[in-house]
Amino acid sequence: MRSTDVTPRSGARPGAGAEQFTAWLLALPAMLLMWAMLLGPAVAVALLSFTDWNFGEPEIAWSGLANYAELWGDRVFWISLRNTLIYVGISVPATVGLGLLAAIAIEGVTRGRGFYRAAYFVPVASTLLAMALVWEFMFHPTVGFVNQALRAIGLPTTDWLQNPDTALFALAVIGVWQNLGLAMVLFMAGLKAIPKDMYEALAIDGADGAWERFRRVTWPLLGPALVFVVAITAIRSFQVFDTVAVLTEGGPSKATEVLLYTMVQNGFTFLRSAYGAAITVIFLIFTLALTLAQTIILDRRAHYG
């Protein structure tokens, strides 16, 4: 008696279609939540940027690229973009470098490691608006700790937050102080993932110095952590707003005007919602482009064990 072949000719596994449908059905709530909380508002902001709507107006009309054309000729927008890029260029390398040094130093101590971890991480968990008042006092031109310390060693002083040449740098210092603890914790997690036998093998080869250990083992194997730290730090630096709003309000003479502050001013103070949406779109594009560029460049050099 000849047997009947019941295996599907297409090679598809029986029940695969039902499993795929079930998988999509289970993922549907998460997808809907993502659209409602993330992608949906981003699309709405992008569409709003092509209109002429101001907050409170009963009518809305399509204006095409008018808002972006206005941005192109807006001097304040270009100043805020330049200041944002300068802020990111200062805070990201300083945060990454100091965070790595702090992580290596804390991992090297034998006692008090938990205290140092908590002390460095306090700025990350603290409210920046409250801490900004502390920094305002520290940068005070007469009684502030910074100028007092400079006077003690014979160096010139200045009004750090009211001097156009130093205000943005002072805000970048606060940004580094705030993000340093997060970078340190992430680097410490990367250091924990490095196998100890790598250092033992290096010692057998006769290269057991601190610099050789860092150059030949620690730094190459920290590649994945470095990619993540740089990306997170860049995103947080691009989002600088609190210290600008509390300490300088974009001044003096637009020296600390940044993209987010310009967007909030136009969208919520001047009620130019569509124009503020256009600034937001440019902000998102720059943030995404910079983060992707850094990730791609660093990821090529990262060693994944």
CATH of the domain at 205: 1.10.3720.10
Is 144 within the bounds of a domain?
A: yes
Is 90 within the bounds of a domain?
A: yes
pTM: 0.85
Is 166 within the bounds of a domain?
A: yes
Q: What is the pLDDT of residue 237?
A: 92
pLDDT tens string 174-227: 999 999 999 999 999 888 888 888 877 777 777 677 788 888 888 888 888 888
Is 55 within the bounds of a domain?
A: no
Phi, psi values for residue 90, rounded to 5°: -85, -50
Q: What is the pLDDT of residue 153?
A: 92
Residue 117: pLDDT band (50, 70, 90) is confident
Q: What is the pLDDT of residue 1?
A: 46
Count of domains observed in the chain? 1
Work out the percent of the chain whose per-residue pLDDT is above 90. 40
Q: What is the pLDDT of residue 305?
A: 55
Q: What is the pLDDT of residue 87?
A: 96
Average pLDDT value for the chain: 85
Q: For residue 303, how many other CB atoms are within 10 A of its CB? A: 10
Work out the percent of the chain whose per-residue pLDDT is above 70. 92
Is 290 within the bounds of a domain?
A: yes
Is 101 within the bounds of a domain?
A: yes
Angle at 132 between CA 251 and CA 75, to 5 degrees: 20
**Domain assignment of residue 143, given as a range:** 72-301
Is 223 within the bounds of a domain?
A: yes
Structure tokens at 88: 């990111």
**54 pLDDT exceeds 60?**
yes
Cα distances (Å, whole numbers) of residue 8 to 1, 20, 173, 224: 21, 18, 66, 44
Is 19 within the bounds of a domain?
A: no
